[in-house]
Amino acid sequence: MILGLSGTYGAGKGEICDYLAARSFEVHSLSDVIRDALRARGHRETRERMIETGTALRAEHGEGVLAERVLGRLEPDRNYVIDSIRHPEEVARLRAARPDFRLIWVDADASVRLARIGSRGRSGDPANADDLDRLEGSELASADPAAQQLVAVRDRADFAIRNDGTREELHAAIRRVLDQCLHFERPDWDDYFMSIARVVASRSNCVKRKVAAVITRDRRIISTGYNGTPRGVRNCNEGGCPRCNAFAEAGTQLSDCLCSHGEENAITQAAYHGVSVRGGTLYTTLCPCLICTKMIINAGIEAVVYNADYPLGDVSLGLLHQAGVKVRQLAIGS
């Protein structure tokens, strides 16, 4: 999950980051992007300069630029908290890129926040309510579309936390948010195995097309194969296949092709290692050719799931249906 943080000055966003970091969340801040820009320009960091630089970056590169740069640092297999979200377009970019993004707005009474700010003892922090009002006035809303727009961010929040009480009460509120973010979509088995087949295809040495197959039984991978020249023969991308290296037209010079197909290699690799594929399901990134189709049928494979259509695939599909092999196409993006 990705939890975004925004809120008023001194509301407790740092405490939430610390709480989540102790629970294996990686912490990122949009302010870090601004700090990177300041360092690149050789400028010293001050709050005023941070605000000015953030506004300048949004004006020059688009209002979602800070979010876009942080998104480039994220992996799909971890939990994150992203602090310092101060513009509605940053929220929009994060939502568009990651369906698991949720925004938390944190607020507290001004007197409570002033007491916390005073206890920090940071240089440049507001010393009284008037200072706090002046500081926040420029951050809550602005006629400049590239400036901070905290009110608009607050209106887009999925969760709102009041932090007027104890640290323990804040932690309990965060825990309630986490409880509501535990459910997420997982790929089904077809998507899962086809995605693996596409990774296997990246190992192909064929210069014309990268194709791979994965054979499963009982939802367990028992063999994989990708297209390329046979074992011990010079790889296609090193000049090993005259047809592929000549970039022959589709359907021509097939007798000159030395590459084995992904389905063929998946079946023969299973045989090489003494693994039965009978009763299995074959996932392939391309509809099987006629030769591979006959191998699939005779090997006892019961189902074929393919991604892309093969220009000469009608005969193959008809033969699979005639032999009682279950066939379905799974169209996933390239």
| Cross-strand pairs, 329 | 306
What Å distances lie between residue 100 and 54, 73, 176, 190, 192, CA to CA? 26, 16, 16, 22, 19
Q: Are the CB atoms for 224 and 200 separated by under 8 Å?
A: yes
Of the candidates 86, 81, 26, the residue with the CA atom closest to the CA atom of residue 53: 86
- Which bin fits 53, alpha (ψ -120 to 50), beta or left (φ > 0)? alpha
In whole angstroms, what is the distance from residue 27 CA to residue 24 CA? 9
Strand pairing of 281-286 and 212-217? antiparallel
In whole angstroms, what is the distance from residue 79 CA to residue 22 CA? 12
Helix/strand/coil (H/E/C) assignment for every residue in 275-320: CCCCCCEEEEEECCCHHHHHHHHHCCCCEEEEEECCCCHHHHHHHH
Q: Would you state the structure tokens that stand for residue 9, as one six-digit string?
A: 């000055």
Of the candidates 103, 107, 75, the residue with the CA atom closest to the CA atom of residue 4: 103
Exactly one of 63, 89, 90, 263 is catalytic; which is it? 263
Residue 68 catalytic?
no
In whole angstroms, what is the distance from residue 147 CA to residue 145 CA? 6
Catalytic positions, written as ranges: 263
